[in-house]
Structure 1
Amino acid sequence: MIKKLTAVGLVAAISVGCQSQGKLFGKKNDQEAVSASASAKEESGKTSYNKLITSEAKSDKGMFTTHFVDDKLYFEIPLDLLEKDMLLVSRIAKVPSGFGGGYVNAGSKVNEQVVRWTKRGDFVDVKVISFKNESEEESPIYKSVLANNFSPILYSAEVKAYTPDSTAVVVDVSSLFEDEVAAIDGLSSSLRKRYKVKKLDKTRSYIESAHSYPKNVEVKHVMTYEAEEPPERGQAGTISMLMNQSMVLLPEDRMQPRLADDRVGWFTVEKYDYNSDELKSDEYEIIRKWRLVPKDMEAYKRGELVEPVKPIVYYLDPATPKKWRPYFKQGIEDWNVAFEKAGFKNAIIAKDPPTAEEDPEFSPEDVRYSVVRYVASTTRNAMGPSVIDPRTGEIIESDIIWYHNHLRSYRNRFMIEAGAQNPAARTLNTPEAEIGEMMRMVIAHEVGHALGLPHNMKASAAYPTDSLRSASFTQEYGLTPSIMDYARVNYVAQPGDEDVRFIRMMGPYDLYAINWGYRYLPEAKNPEDEKTTLDAWILEKAGDPVYEFGSGYGGVDPQAQRESLGADQVKASEYGLANLKKVVPNLVEWTSREGSGFEELDEVYSELINMWRGYIYHVITNVGGVYETRKTADQEGVVYEAVPQGKQRKAINFLTSNAFTTPEWLLNDEILDRIESDGAIDRVQNLQSRALDYLLDEDRLKRMFENEQRSSKDVYSAVEMMKDLRQGIFSELYQSKEVDAYRRNLQRAYVDTAVDYVEQVQAEGDEEIASTDVVALMRGELQKLKSDLNQRKNRTGDTITRYHWQDLIARIEAGLDPEA
């Protein structure tokens, strides 16, 4: 393989770039780096090491030796670590209450960048390095790549002393952590604006600790800002946060990267090769993965299961409650089944935290240890972040984060979505077996992220919807082919469906993806050598929906949606709604506790409404929807295909019957009279108007017009959809019936949405909308509705209904002709 050189450049937040095997441009070899700095003995005017680092110093030996002397922090940097690649990871270790609206939590990573410590005369500079753009050293274009990717200097410090043996320099790095350095700051520009931050208060900003380990240095420092509007009033015009800076030495022996393929879901690193034979820079991606190498290569080649040289080990946080530890461990080690598909046994191991006697050096901050952290927080979430070598995509370490109150989310969801079918779900005290299994699968999901796998929201559409009512099917295959899908509880199963599985689990796609990403290919000398084998594995599974990948972003493909179950979204939502209608009358009983109020009832009822909304949105996505099947040019068939018109009509019929009729079942007086004095009408209006807005989204309507032109098949046109929708929403008009308050709100929302399109063009001259058929469609529908209203407005004896029809006519006239 030809050696490639990587140019250096600014990295805002490293999630990109790797380079092929070879020497980096601008990087001196070890001998050159040492000899360039070996003149330390000849330097003059420096403080004696022993006078600078006194006996009072608090020192910690490791990659760099750190010294606290009075209120100053010194790094003692070995000369042989100058010019070495290091990953600087900035995390928020502690945050004030309410920070970021509750979405920025302790442990959140704010930046990740590769740096090199370089000596420049009497100074040491910290340079930020990019591995995104590369070129061959011998190529003429290499000079241009270098010139257009110049390394910025993040920080510079004067050399204060040399060690007595002249093997290291000593620099004062206090200001790096006490001053405001944007590249490692925890306050983004948006948060500064939100909280009206004025300045950093240096009198209340300080270094809390510095610890050095064999391959990393960890510094914690408090940053205090003056802010006019801090997250909460009681914070007295102040925002203080504890930052954690990790400096991680990247490996000299680089892992061989694996080229990404968007037909199999992986987190990736992007890069550009300017020596491509194509008439442009070659843009490609490599996957993020741990380095797993077989211990016994010959046995591995024979197809035997072999342990890796270095397994993936996760330690549990000492703060993890002991009753939950077995479930956490199971969730981690569940992935061994997938790794066995890739030829490895015991590839991933879960361990209890070691005691001080077992491992006196153990620390969750040490890059040698990957930890499942248990965070005492009201945040209802879990995360699976990892730290990678951006040169190769190798995952260096990972910390899974579990927030305590995530238990609450699963308790509520289990009651809402399984309460009609499963007696174990009918309590706020979910039995340990069920909540433990849910925790196990959450940990497995987050570990999947930490192994390199993104969400696969398309997986759930691989299974026939009615199969999720089968005990034999769900017990063997789970709810979806991938644990990386959002499909947490089986809401399709109905009362009487015995022994079905209610909680997600790992599936066949997960085993396939791990084999594709982690199977070691001994004969491959470079990433290109692997491509034929990797492509063959994909083509072997092509056409089988179990092995398809879809991220779910974009909201276009109805088969790739969060929390959706089964191939038929309409049928699944019908089943889900049927269960919700059985749950609602029981919520008072299931959530009541003697001596307590109705806060829990209010919370569960609110979450139930959100799930109803989710079922509705799953169906809406079919209207104007487009299926995406990822393919390459050597595969037959198209990538994009419009949802058949029959399914789109079925979706509109469902919406007319379920989303756009008054949900009497939801308006349960036994609940409402306990949680609120009023608000039901506004709540239903909000639900229905938002669903209507989503259905009549401009991009959806434009796709429907385009599908009419592109397809030779019979398609569901936008005109037909609007006609069906109008007749459903205004059924009282066409049947001469009175309209209740909920439906009046919905009908006003329909008119207002259509009028908004017309008024937007009239008021703002919006050329983008004006140049489409959307406005013409809305004008036509408003004219038709106005005509129908004029013909039928007096066919009801209900006064408010008649006033309502007259009001809609006035709204339409004002919208179509605002000057009249």
Structure 2
Amino acid sequence: MKKTIILFLSFLILYACSPQNSKLLKNQKSEKTTTPKKSKTKQYTDFVKKDTKTDDGLFKVHETKDQFMYEIPKSYFGKEMLLVTRIKELPADLGGGYVNAGSKINTQVVVWEQFKDKILLKVKSYNAIANDSLPIYKSVKANNSEPVIYAFDIKTQNQDSTAVLIDVTKFFSTDVKAISGLPSYYRSTYKVRRLDPSRSFINSIKSYPENIEVIQDFSFDSDAPPSNRSTNTITMRINQSMILLPEDPMMPRIYDKRVGYFSMGNVDYSSEALKADDKRYIRRWRLEPKDVAAYNRGELVEPIKPIIYYLDPATPKKLRKYIKQGVDDWAKVFETAGFKNAIMAKMPPTKEEDPEFSMEDVRYSSIRYVASTTRNAVGPSVSDPRSGEILESDIIWYHNHLRSYRNRYLLETGAANPSARTLDTPDEEIGDMMRMVIAHEIGHALGLPHNMAASYAYPTDSLRSGSFTQKYGIAATIMDYARYNYVAQPGDKNIRFIRQLGPYDHYAINWGYRRIPNANTPEAEVKTLDKWISDKANDPIYRFGAQRFDPSAQTEGIGNDQVKSSTYGVKNLKIVAKNLPDWTSNQTNNYDDLDELYGELLSVWGRYAGHVAGNIGGVYEYNKKPSQTGDIYVPVAKDVQKESMNWLQKNVFETQSWLLDKNILNKVDETGYTSKLSRYQNRILSSILNYRTLDRMIEADVIEKNNYTALSMIEDLRKGIFSEIYSTKNVDLQKRNLQKYFVERMNALMNDKDAKSTDISSIVRGELTTLKNQLNSASRRNVNKITKYHYNDVLEMVNNILNPK
């Protein structure tokens, strides 16, 4: 054994001493002791080079060829910023034509945070909050984790290590869903497959003192695009705005649904109550008086920072004064709230006056004039979700919008207003319309939503008074859709036909913007705010109403008696219809305007009819607090509903031969006019014969015993629409179509899953059974062949509903 061990050791010594193996061992030792080479760390100058374009602002933005870098100061880590995604340009008919350039797609609060060698862009939610000094704050944070939109590699630091560089090229040039301008419902509707990277790129990134603006050009492959279908493409231009939120948030004002304001809310877990509090604040600009003591004494005081709108240089010169007036009109309204020169419009400074000025800069609000065939104007704004403070606003006016106003002016006021009887409306009157549209959109940008109840505040007959309309206008606020005075009749003198600001506007701005002395919390303001409401509570001029089931809060209506107002309106329309060729085609030697205006005339008639139909099954809504007397929900009186039904039978469900004037129809279309009229008749019928209307009528029986019942209403409807079955009178084409649609609506109600467990299905079955018996008798009467065929056809429809196969 000892001999074996000696031999083995001798072998190892000889092996190690051989030249080849000695070299191998030496190399192995060398590998263990040599320090590996460090990779070269990227320096600031590797990214910011001589040919790099740098734009300094909120962050420095570095552009080298097609690469974009953000230089984010570390002092901005954790600071809250608002990320707003808007559509800047879009294809025709996106969203069915209801989406416009400038539309906001998403608004979210974001923060930049460092995690190891990454910079995270996280979304911070204000849906749930708590005081950070309370123990529950930890639970709120734990149960509302902030999602990470994107993680960026830190490329390097700046030369004094106060900022980091990240590459944002991929973030803004690829399809990041959190900031996409094409939401999921559009992707589904238009069968979007993917973003095509070869046709998508960053157009520009510009940095301003308080915001960064990114413009993206994106092309999506789509199997069903909204327009240009042969291309299988949706191309959009998206605007991403990142805005630094104020270090010191404005003190919020608590929302009250009795006064109309846009609002934003959250759930506050700091409450001592047995549940979390739902808190909601109004949206408004931060107006602070320069001289607080003078303001508190009731003197008019200028704000530290007034609201200024800059006009787009592309605005036609002849229109600028009207746009400016539309903004400046609100200055007088703000005086009611104690502020002098609080709002104004200006032309932007020239390049010589301010070379850095840009309407993309969040510090400047603007009124854009857009060369587009869209007939619209919008007044969007951006708000701080922590406080409701409006930070900036861009009113958008589309070039063709005035054509809609010219048309409506002619149709709705032409009977009583000689200057409206032309395609060439006088400049001053067109200008006045534009002024009021701008004033309306500015109202939205100040925080005011539509107030459709304001037009109901004025008695219908007062709208025929020159002295009344010149002083008070045609509605109590510019925020109603009450564009024209269609009530005034031929011969009425000194009438104001175009809307204007009203007393409600002064009331609402005072309520939302007046500073309350010694109230240092939102809660401390409530007592005073309540008093301002209760002082005006019984005056309809100061009522706010949202458009839902309330017939006193309908879009486009004026006057407090829908039946009377619509009677005046239809009377005027009949005069206009008779003269329409003389006012259009006979002047232009062209039928295009006649065709367009006839189509819009049908629409106006349909609106007047809709105002009356709203009474049937309608419920007035009077928002109140328990300290106020009276009910919140009040069904429309039985006699008003019955009167409305009689009006509809005469003015809608009977064939309106004045709308089928051969002097117009045989000039504008070879066919289709009866179906156009039928669509409006059917729409009115659908508004009455639907589950929600009938359900309100049935529920009203529980509260109001002397109510217009659902049974009585459908019975009256059947008798009126099928009035010919009681005689040997033949049924004309228009009425035949309407009778069939009545049966279709009854069938829909029979099969409505909600209606099956209510009285609605019983009433429908009973009325259809009665109709069946009447049709059996009517089909044997001495009527023409088409009427007999029609009765048999409708009878078959009814049998199939009552006894489905």
TM-score range, shorter chain: over 0.9
Give the CA deviation at 1:229.
Answer: 2.6
Q: Deviations over 1:167-205 (max 9, x none)?
A: 211111111101111111111112212222211121222
Q: Tell me the equivalent position of 2:278.
A: 283
DSSP-derived class of the 1:783 partner: helix
Give the CA deviation at 1:135.
Answer: 1.3
Task: Give the letter for the 1:363 counterpart.
Answer: S
- Counterpart check, 1:738 vs 2:738: no
Moved more, 71-80 or 747-756: 747-756
Give the CA deviation at 1:745.
Answer: 1.5
- Counterpart check, 1:649 vs 2:642: yes
After TM superposition, list the pairs within 5 Å mapping 1:717-756 onto structure 2: 717-756=709-748
Which of the residues 317, 320, 333 maps onto 1:338?
333
Q: Deviations over 1:498-544 (max 9, x none)?
A: 11110110011110000000001231111011111000000000111
Give the CA deviation at 1:757.
Answer: 2.8
Instruction: Give the distance between the partners of 1:470 and 1:44, measured in 2 at CA.
Output: 87
Q: Deviations over 1:454-500 (max 9, x none)?
A: 00001111110111111011110011101000000111111111111
Moved more, 130-139 or 384-393: 130-139
Go from structure 1 to structure 2 and tell me whether the alpha carbon gap of 1:301 and 1:756 turns closer, same or farther (over 3 Å shift).
closer
DSSP-derived class of the 1:334 partner: helix
DSSP-derived class of the 1:59 partner: strand
Instruction: Give the distance between the partners of 1:255 and 1:457, measured in 2 at CA.
Output: 30
- Counterpart check, 1:689 vs 2:682: yes
Are 2:690 and 2:749, in contact at CA under 8 Å, matched by a contact in 1?
Answer: no
Q: Tell me the equivalent position of 1:507.
A: 502
DSSP-derived class of the 2:155 partner: strand
Moved more, 624-633 or 687-696: 687-696
Which of the residues 189, 209, 219 maps onto 1:214?
209
Q: Tell me the equivalent position of 1:418.
A: 413
Q: Tell me the equivalent position of 1:790.
A: 776
Instruction: Give the distance between the partners of 2:673 and 2:255, measured in 1 at CA.
Output: 50
Instruction: Give the distance between the partners of 1:509 and 1:46, measured in 2 at CA.
Output: 66
Which of the residues 555, 567, 570 maps onto 2:560?
567
- Counterpart check, 1:116 vs 2:102: no
- Counterpart check, 1:328 vs 2:320: no
Instruction: Give the distance between the partners of 2:713 and 2:203, measured in 1 at CA.
Output: 63
Q: Tell me the equivalent position of 2:796.
A: 810
Give the CA deviation at 1:368.
Answer: 0.7
Instruction: Give the distance between the partners of 1:401 and 1:429, measured in 2 at CA.
Output: 24
Which of the residues 633, 640, 645 maps onto 1:640?
633
TM-score by length of 2: 0.93
TM-score by length of 1: 0.92
Instruction: Give the distance between the partners of 2:398 and 2:264, measured in 1 at CA.
Output: 28
Instruction: Give the distance between the partners of 1:397 and 1:86, measured in 2 at CA.
Output: 14
Q: Deviations over 1:761-780 (max 9, x none)?
A: 6xxxx3x2210111110111
Give the CA deviation at 1:369.
Answer: 0.5
Instruction: Give the distance between the partners of 1:815 and 1:110, measured in 2 at CA.
Output: 45
Are 2:482 and 2:557, in contact at CA under 8 Å, matched by a contact in 1?
Answer: yes
Task: Give the letter for the 2:186 counterpart.
Answer: L
Instruction: Give the distance between the partners of 2:441 and 2:506, measured in 1 at CA.
Output: 16
- Counterpart check, 1:558 vs 2:528: no
DSSP-derived class of the 2:517 partner: coil
Give the CA deviation at 1:705.
Answer: 1.1
Task: Give the letter for the 2:390 counterpart.
Answer: I
Give the CA deviation at 1:45.
Answer: 6.0
Q: Tell me the equivalent position of 2:380.
A: 385
Task: Give the letter for the 1:589 counterpart.
Answer: D
DSSP-derived class of the 1:372 partner: strand
Q: Deviations over 1:81-121 (max 9, x none)?
A: 11111111111222234433333232221111111111122
Q: Tell me the equivalent position of 2:32.
A: none
- Counterpart check, 1:406 vs 2:401: yes
Instruction: Give the distance between the partners of 1:408 and 1:368, measured in 2 at CA.
Output: 33
Give the CA deviation at 1:69.
Answer: 1.2
Q: Tell me the equivalent position of 1:447.
A: 442
Q: Tell me the equivalent position of 1:776.
A: 762
Which of the residues 289, 296, 313 maps onto 1:294?
289
Larger radius of gyration: 2
Go from structure 1 to structure 2 and tell me whether the alpha carbon gap of 1:756 and 1:80 turns closer, same or farther (over 3 Å shift).
closer
Instruction: Give the distance between the partners of 1:722 and 1:796, measured in 2 at CA.
Output: 27
Are 1:46 and 1:160, in contact at CA under 8 Å, matched by a contact in 2?
Answer: no
Q: Deviations over 1:272-307 (max 9, x none)?
A: 111212221110200000000011111111111000
Instruction: Give the distance between the partners of 1:686 and 1:132, measured in 2 at CA.
Output: 43
Instruction: Give the distance between the partners of 1:207 and 1:811, measured in 2 at CA.
Output: 60
Task: Give the letter for the 1:516 counterpart.
Answer: W
Q: Deviations over 1:563-608 (max 9, x none)?
A: 0111111111111100110001111122227676322211111111
Q: Tell me the equivalent position of 1:521.
A: 516
Are 1:475 and 1:501, in contact at CA under 8 Å, matched by a contact in 2?
Answer: yes
Go from structure 1 to structure 2 and tell me whether the alpha carbon gap of 1:690 and 1:89 turns closer, same or farther (over 3 Å shift).
same
Moved more, 789-798 or 284-293: 789-798
Are 1:738 and 1:796, in contact at CA under 8 Å, matched by a contact in 2?
Answer: no
Q: Deviations over 1:651-707 (max 9, x none)?
A: 000001001011111001111011111112222222222221211111111111111
Q: Tell me the equivalent position of 1:9.
A: none
Q: Tell me the equivalent position of 1:3.
A: none
DSSP-derived class of the 1:284 partner: strand
Task: Give the letter for the 2:509 counterpart.
Answer: I
- Counterpart check, 1:254 vs 2:249: yes
- Counterpart check, 1:67 vs 2:59: no
DSSP-derived class of the 1:350 partner: strand
Aligned length: 768
DSSP-derived class of the 2:641 partner: helix
After TM superposition, list the pairs within 5 Å mapping 1:255-274 onto structure 2: 255-274=250-269
Task: Give the letter for the 2:139 counterpart.
Answer: S
Are 2:728 and 2:783, in contact at CA under 8 Å, matched by a contact in 1?
Answer: no
Task: Give the letter for the 2:415 counterpart.
Answer: A
Q: Deviations over 1:719-750 (max 9, x none)?
A: 21122222222222224322211112222222
Task: Give the letter for the 1:583 counterpart.
Answer: V
Q: Tell me the equivalent position of 2:350.
A: 355
Task: Give the letter for the 2:780 counterpart.
Answer: N
Q: Deviations over 1:243-294 (max 9, x none)?
A: 1111111111211000000000100011111121222111020000000001
Instruction: Give the distance between the partners of 2:776 and 2:586, measured in 1 at CA.
Output: 55
Q: Tell me the equivalent position of 2:30.
A: none
Task: Give the letter for the 1:309 counterpart.
Answer: I
Unaligned 5+ residue runs, structure 1? Answer: 1-42
Q: Tell me the equivalent position of 1:179.
A: 174
Instruction: Give the distance between the partners of 1:689 and 1:218, measured in 2 at CA.
Output: 48
Give the CA deviation at 1:212.
Answer: 1.0
Task: Give the letter for the 1:401 counterpart.
Answer: I
Go from structure 1 to structure 2 and tell me whether the alpha carbon gap of 1:99 and 1:810 turns closer, same or farther (over 3 Å shift).
closer
Are 1:418 and 1:425, in contact at CA under 8 Å, matched by a contact in 2?
Answer: yes
Q: Deviations over 1:325-354 (max 9, x none)?
A: 000000001111210000001000100122
Task: Give the letter for the 2:768 counterpart.
Answer: L
Which of the residues 234, 256, 259 maps onto 1:239?
234
Q: Deviations over 1:218-264 (max 9, x none)?
A: 11121122222333336622222221111111111211000000000
Q: Deviations over 1:6-42 (max 9, x none)?
A: xxxxxxxxxxxxxxxxxxxxxxxxxxxxxxxxxxxxx
Give the CA deviation at 1:753.
Answer: 2.0
Instruction: Give the distance between the partners of 1:683 and 1:221, measured in 2 at CA.
Output: 42
Instruction: Give the distance between the partners of 1:434 and 1:523, measured in 2 at CA.
Output: 47
Moved more, 237-246 or 126-135: 237-246
Which of the residues 115, 126, 130 maps onto 1:131?
126
Are 2:108 and 2:124, in contact at CA under 8 Å, matched by a contact in 1?
Answer: yes
Q: Deviations over 1:433-474 (max 9, x none)?
A: 111000000000000000000000011111101111110111
Q: Tell me the equivalent position of 2:691.
A: 698
Which of the residues 294, 303, 309 maps onto 2:298?
303
Q: Tell me the equivalent position of 1:24.
A: none
Give the CA deviation at 1:44.
Answer: 9.9
Are 2:476 and 2:501, in contact at CA under 8 Å, matched by a contact in 1?
Answer: yes
